[in-house]
A = this chain, B = another copy of it.
Amino acid sequence: MVSKALGKYVQSLHQKKYRHRHGAFLVEGGKSVLELLSSDLETEHLLATAEFASQNLAQLAGRVPRTVATALELTQLGTLATNTTALAVARLPAEIPLPPTLPETALLLALDEVRDPGNLGTLLRLADWYGLPGVVLSPGCADPYAPKTVAATMGAFARIRVWERDLAAWLPALPPGVGIFGADLRGDNVHRLTLRPAGVLVMGSESHGLTPAVEAALTRRLHIPRGPGGGAESLNVAISAAVLLDNFYRNQ
C-alpha cells in the first residue's frame, strides 16, 4: 500500500521542475530498477510488487525504504502503462568534474539540441556500449533524467556520465589540437579514414542539424557514405552516431 504522500511525491517527479527541486528522478520497470540497485546511484524509495520482491530477494536485500505496491498502483504512479513490477526514486547524481584535457585521451560525445527523449536515451545507451567517459549535453537537449529518456537507455542511465555545457562556449575553450568531429554530407568519407577514439564527436538535432556556432567549432567533418542506389536523405541521429562511433572504435 503506497501512502498518499509518497504517491504524490512520485507523481511530481514526472516533471523536470520537481526532479530538480527534489534532486531525484524515477526509474521504472523491473530491469531498470535492478540496474539502479547494482549501480553507484543512491536509491531513495523502492516500490515493488510482492511477486517482484520475492523473485529478487538477494538484489533487494537491505534496500530501504521499501514499499509493497500493486501492479495497478505502479501504473497509476508511473508513466509506463506496462510497468507492473517495480518503480524506484533515485537521487540525481552529483556532477563530477569534466577535465578540459579529457578529450585529448578519450572520445566524448556532445549532443547539440537533441530534444527527443527516445533518441537521447538511445544515444546514452550507445555511449555506454562503446565505453565513452560520458556525454556532454547542450541546455536545449531533452532531460537525461526524464522517464522516457531513462527507459530508452535500457539501464545505461545508471552508468553513463552526463554534463550540461553551452557547447558554443565549451568547444572553442578545449585545448588546441583536440579534434572536434561532426557529421556533414560534404565531409570526409569515414570508410577511408583511420579514426582513433579521442576528441569530441558532436551530433545535432534531427530536424535542424548543428546550431551555427557549434558547426563553426568543428575541426573535422565526417560523412557516412550512402549505399549505391540508396534513397533516404538522412539517417536518424542515433543511427548516425552509432555508425560514426563504430568507425572510431574499429581501429583499436
Contact = CB atoms under 8 A, between A and B. Distances in A.
A20 interface: no
B155 A226 contact: no
Q: How many copies does the complex hold?
A: 2
Interface in A228-252: 228-236, 238-239, 242-243, 245-247, 249-252
A197 interface: yes
B232 A252 contact: no
Given A154-B232, A242-B235, A243-B242, A227 B132 contact: yes
Interface string A82-106: 0000000000000000000000000
A122 interface: yes
A122 B236 contact: yes
A36 interface: no
A41 to B, nearest CB: 13
Interface of A: 118, 122, 125-126, 128-132, 154-156, 159-160, 191, 197, 224-236, 238-239, 242-243, 245-247, 249-252
